[in-house]
Chain A
Amino acid sequence: MTEVLHREPMDLLFSVGLLALTLCAYFAALRAFQKARHFSLLHPLVSSCLLIAALLYSFDIDYARYQRANSIFYWLLGPATVALAIPLDREFARIRALAQPLLLTLLFGAIAAPLSAVTLAALFGADPLTLLSLTPKSVTTPIALGIAKEIGALAELTAGVVIFTGVVGAIAGPRLLSLIGVDDERLQGFTLGINAHGVGTARAFDISPLCGAFSSLALGLTGVLTALTLPTLLLWLAKIL
């Protein structure tokens, strides 16, 4: 009895500590990012994840335990996603002006993203289950997990791949696009949203609200389009192969 009484406040305190760890790591990472004049490898998401992972490993703290203590952040992703409607509404006139090329690119991107991933992985000898789990990789996490379940992919693998894809897109995306001459921030935003979902969209909002609005649009449309088409497409492919 005394042990239970003793353990519960300690457990609560530990949870608060793990939550504070996330906040401290994030704000320290943000500070470093601003000091380093937005040097992209120091993206706050990357450096804070590295810092927290190092601490969890060195103090031998279970990842599931950490996740439980930080569930508020998963929860806040919901209203934050809904909030994307506001910049979307504000920039709608500028989005509508580009409606046709945006929709065509969306159709192209929704196929190009999974296809380039699967092709490269196949060249490196991935097994069929891995290939299947890679297909929803550019879609926002909750939709990707829904698709993974539908097509019989490995959900844990899909979840990890999705976030990592977003991180790669957020770090390298804007620079790569400028390098190949895609400088317009509307186009950069839309491309980030198609390929790097919410993580890319967070990066797009760092560039400008306009860039972020185009990314939000692409994030939503890619998610919905992929959810509608990918399972059917894979079923059809499985039949002809």
Chain B
Amino acid sequence: MSTALDYLKGLSVLVLFQLLGEGLAQVLPIAVPGPVLGMILLFFTLRQLDPPGWLVKTAGRLIGLLSLFFIPAGLGIFFLPEAMQQQWPAILAAIVGGTLLSIALTGLTLKALTRGITEQ
């Protein structure tokens, strides 16, 4: 019971910060989504005060389930719009080749830039 209450409290705080983020997004001139702004706001709050145990617990559980939350959106790959079906070789090249290429490029850049710092 206390666990359920912990999750309820944790989720309420996270949703509250999301709503604050959504509010801020309305005011800002750029298209940054509310949850990302909410994450930034919560981060700055946590710099000032330590998170209570129930918030840490809820966050850990939600983050552990991230893959589950992506399933309905990810399924979209199998139900593509017509426009995408015609150009699939180019799109596939970009998604597979482009992603692997940029992962390799950014990974190597980061490694080169951090040489000497990370070897501890």
The reply to whether A223 and B59 form a contact with Cβ atoms under 8 Å apart is no
| A124 to B95 CA separation, bound complex (whole angstroms) | 12
Any chain A CB within 8 A of the CB of B77? yes
The reply to whether A121 and B72 form a contact with Cβ atoms under 8 Å apart is no
Any chain B CB within 8 A of the CB of A86? yes
Q: Name the A residues within 8 Å of B95 (CB-CB).
A: 117, 137, 161, 164-165, 168
Shortest Cβ gap from B99 to chain A (Å):
5
Q: Name the A residues within 8 Å of B96 (CB-CB).
A: 168
- Known interface pairs A45-B67, A164-B95; A130-B87 also in contact (CB < 8 Å): yes
Shortest Cβ gap from B31 to chain A (Å):
3
Q: Which of A3-11, A34-42, A95-103 interfaces with chain B? A: A95-103
B residues 38-76 near A (Cβ < 8 Å) are: 38-40, 42-43, 46-47, 51, 55-56, 58-60, 62-76
Any chain B CB within 8 A of the CB of A120? yes
Q: Name the A residues within 8 Å of B105 (CB-CB).
A: 108-109, 112, 116
Chain A: residues with Cβ within 8 Å of the partner, total of 114
Q: Name the B residues within 8 Å of A190 (CB-CB).
A: 110
Any chain B CB within 8 A of the CB of A224? yes
| A27 to B119 CA separation, bound complex (whole angstroms) | 38
The reply to whether A176 and B103 form a contact with Cβ atoms under 8 Å apart is yes
Shortest Cβ gap from A135 to chain B (Å):
10
Q: Name the B residues within 8 Å of A168 (CB-CB).
A: 95-96, 99-100
- Known interface pairs A120-B94, A168-B95, A190-B110; A45-B38 also in contact (CB < 8 Å): no
- Across the interface, B70 reaches (CB within 8 A) one of A45, A57, A86, namely A45
Q: Name the B residues within 8 Å of A22 (CB-CB).
A: 68, 71-72
The reply to whether A143 and B73 form a contact with Cβ atoms under 8 Å apart is no
A residues 163-196 near B (Cβ < 8 Å) are: 163-169, 172-173, 176-177, 180-182, 184, 186-188, 190-192, 194-196
| A98 to B43 CA separation, bound complex (whole angstroms) | 18
Shortest Cβ gap from A118 to chain B (Å):
7
CB-defined interface of A18-30 with B at 8 Å, one 1/0 digit per residue?
Answer: 0000110110000
- Known interface pairs A104-B113, A112-B105, A138-B102; A77-B35 also in contact (CB < 8 Å): yes
Shortest Cβ gap from A71 to chain B (Å):
8
- Known interface pairs A116-B98, A120-B94, A137-B95; A83-B59 also in contact (CB < 8 Å): yes
The reply to whether A80 and B110 form a contact with Cβ atoms under 8 Å apart is no
The reply to whether B99 and A88 form a contact with Cβ atoms under 8 Å apart is no
Shortest Cβ gap from A231 to chain B (Å):
8
Q: Give me 6 A-to-B residue pairs in the complex whose CB atoms sit less than 8 angstroms apart, sorted by A's number.
A: A71-B72, A73-B71, A77-B69, A165-B99, A167-B77, A195-B103
